[in-house]
A = this chain, B = another copy of it.
Amino acid sequence: MFGSNDKKFFEAFNTLAEKIVLGAGLLHEMMEKWDRPEETAHRIKALEHECDEITHDLMRRLNRTFITPFDREDIHDLASKLDDVMDFIDNTANRMVVYRFQAPPPEMAAISDVLMRQSAVLREAVANVKQADHILAKCIEIHSLENEGDRIFHSGIARLFSSVTDPIEVIKQKDLLETVEKATDKCEDAANVLESIMLKNA
């Protein structure tokens, strides 16, 4: 069903997904250990640059390739959504450093754990993009992890407004919770593209 020519596209997707897993793992480690966060943020930023490079290469190759495993605009869309996930992992790490927190807000370990699990499922979905049933099951998992992240986010907002009184601290923590929550949304967006590709090609 897929030609040897397609291998490079699948390789690029797998590499992107792999780097997202690494990035989410580093983010989770940052929250758990809170040891030299600047260093971890730098390593995440490096992953983000690598993903940018891979995505740009893929776009250029797409423009020169006539027969592709699925519609070229869908390859474009998937790569760009995976890149978005990495961007928001990087944004979260970056804010942790810029905001000079003494310790991460209490929900950050749990929500970055959700993101780490989502990323692992996303990687599996991407690796098995040719199997419709598999994709659907994985995407449902990603959706329900997004719901789990959402619940943690809402409890964080409730905790914040009932117990923190310094407005600047409220602004910082709220922004951070929103940014990491957006990373879990972006995983869901990538899952939606995978579902869409699967429905088109089944």
Partner-B contacts on A (CB < 8 A): 52, 56, 59-60, 62-63, 71-73, 76-77, 80, 94-95, 98-100, 132-133, 136, 139-140, 143, 147, 154, 157-158, 161, 165, 167-168, 170-172, 174-175, 192, 195-200, 202
Contact = CB atoms under 8 A, between A and B. Distances in A.
28 contacts: A52-B147, A56-B140, A59-B136, A59-B139, A59-B140, A59-B195, A62-B199, A63-B198, A63-B202, A71-B200, A72-B199, A73-B196, A73-B199, A73-B200, A76-B195, A76-B196, A76-B199, A77-B196, A95-B157, A98-B154, A98-B157, A98-B161, A100-B161, A161-B168, A161-B172, A167-B167, A170-B171, A174-B175
A70 B85 CA distance: 30
Q: Determine the main DSSP class of A at the interface with B.
A: helix
B172 A171 contact: no
Most chain B Cβ neighbours within 10 Å, of A63, A95, A167, A199: A199
Contacts of A71: 200
A70 to B, nearest CB: 11
A6 to B, nearest CB: 15
